[in-house]
Homo-oligomer: A and B are copies of this chain.
Amino acid sequence: MKRFRKEDFPVSEVRRFLEPGPIVLVSSAWQGQTNIMTMGWHMVLGFTPSLVGCYIWDENHSFEMVRRSKQCVINIPTSDLINEAIGIGNCSGRTLDKFQEFGLTPVLGEKVEAPLIKECYANFECRLAEGSMISKWGLFIWEVVKAHVAISPRYPETFHYRGDGVFMISGRSINLSRKFTPEML
């Protein structure tokens, strides 16, 4: 697995990695147990504060862990971790330790108890900003309170889910900033 050297990154700019829509790994901790889930249903909701919405199914073991702890880490895996992401989605933290099972390394967070996944390209420490839509819509709104991002490459190769076991691998980047009016950048 890749080893990334990471630096602190402005929380207001995490949209660079989330808005393109990759599969993310959500790590959590609650009452001495940790867990990881694979997630594709998320969206950016603001820059300052840095807000992210996500849907978590209440049947997932992570659901109660993040709801009760009011914290999680959103980790961005690169395409070399695609089999691990599928495996993590295929089993439940009720019956096994996913860090151990998939050879991933938990790293202590700075602002939350939930562990960062060392092998991921980026780690966003999150605190619950709004929980009132959880019971009706499964919708959590998180504030990213600390971001750790690999120094290189500038844009990671991520994987994006289409359903039915099919993934899209992120392709080339193009800079079209010259076509934007200044206030749109």
Contacts and interface: CB of A to CB of B under 8 A. Distances in A.
A3 interface: no
A172 B178 CA distance: 27
Contacts of A162: 15-17, 19-20, 155, 173
- Determine how many copies of this chain the complex contains: 2
Interface residues of A, number: 55
A49 to B, nearest CB: 12
Interface in A115-171: 130, 133, 137-139, 141, 155, 160-171
Interface of A: 13, 15-17, 19-22, 40-46, 53-55, 82-83, 86-87, 89-90, 130, 133, 137-139, 141, 155, 160-181, 184-185
16 contacts: A13-B163, A19-B40, A19-B161, A20-B161, A20-B162, A40-B44, A45-B137, A45-B139, A90-B179, A155-B168, A164-B177, A164-B185, A165-B175, A165-B178, A165-B180, A169-B173
